[in-house]
Chains A and B, each alone.
Chain A
């Protein structure tokens, strides 16, 4: 395992501390940076995200990270909004995203008994095997907080259901994304982060 050099991309997201603490509990140090050179040389890159897609994209574009990120070869993990940014676009804003994985993030339709945002613990289904999901089982719970989601598709490795099924975890090559918050998903989340660091 060569997770000696984890870089969390700085983007004004407010919940970076909890992610860093989660990595710390796994014995991994991380640095928060928006410096292209630091990001390029990282062993693992994490794209977190809290806030709106358009804001987050404009911050990435200011640093030219919108061209750097799709070219990365090391494991990259997008979390929550960070996962949505890996796709082509989001209805939120609307915003053009990084375009690494085909798909559009759409807003959950509010329905009786299904308040938006989707907030809380929900179960995972495993759609296809991935090293990211090692020792994570169907029915395991993860903690979600989001109003927009990606429907299931070719990149989906785990899904969840809120009215309709949606992508809970995705993978395309070295790009991974999780819609839930592993840093706040107790043992299941810690396992997923450990799996990512071992990639």
Chain B
């Protein structure tokens, strides 16, 4: 999301407007999405927190869980977002600046509503965490290894990890199975795969090969290339348990 609109980029660049927030929220609700995630991508790079006015409008519309992310830096900001009706909050850049934010949030609200988003990039033969990925001019490498950070955020009380594999994002060539398997091996909390979905088979593959708890996709749904009812049907045929 940016400026009240839903946007989608490729590898975190060149974002294009794909629609109105409430229209898309209602469409995915009716299509049977299991959960929606809203990223206010310009919040952290602009040094502000997520715009709350739409959070409660979305909460009125949705009868499924939804998670809100974007520059949440304090208990007070998290409280406002949750009070507006979000189920979970996701922190990414602010947690990198101040890792104890994860401890504070999980102590106050319980780990079940604290999601840590990790934007990870392959650098040589290792995975490194990236920060401020919502604005390509401000995106930077941190010195943190993704696997180390995955361990640390769990120890600090993260209740769920969303791993965005940046090299795969928006490319629709499949999830980064190798990286997700490496993270799965050390991740005891629910793990959500993000980045790369382009075909039914990609979803099946990420569940079967990387044992993730959920798969997140944006571009293929926004474009209508894959619809959620079709995806459910295909996954069921492949023997993957999905909600009817």
Contact = CB atoms under 8 A, between A and B. Distances in A.
A14 interface: yes
Contacts of B85: 15, 17-18, 21
Interface string B97-125: 00000000000111111000000000000
Contacts, number: 86
B35 to A, nearest CB: 8
8 contacts: A16-B83, A17-B85, A115-B190, A117-B112, A117-B159, A119-B159, A141-B244, A184-B87
A149 B124 CA distance: 45
Interface in B13-71: 29, 32, 34, 56, 59-60, 62-65
B1 interface: no
B84 A17 contact: yes
Interface of B: 29, 32, 34, 56, 59-60, 62-65, 79, 82-87, 108-113, 159-160, 188-190, 211, 213-214, 243-244
A31 interface: no
Interface stretch (A67-75, A97-105, A162-170, A185-193): A185-193
Interface of chain B: mostly helix, strand, loop or mixed:
loop
A146 B112 contact: yes
B113 A17 contact: no
The 10 closest A-B pairs by CB, nearest first: A14-B82, A17-B85, A117-B112, A18-B85, A145-B112, A141-B243, A184-B65, A21-B60, A121-B243, A115-B189
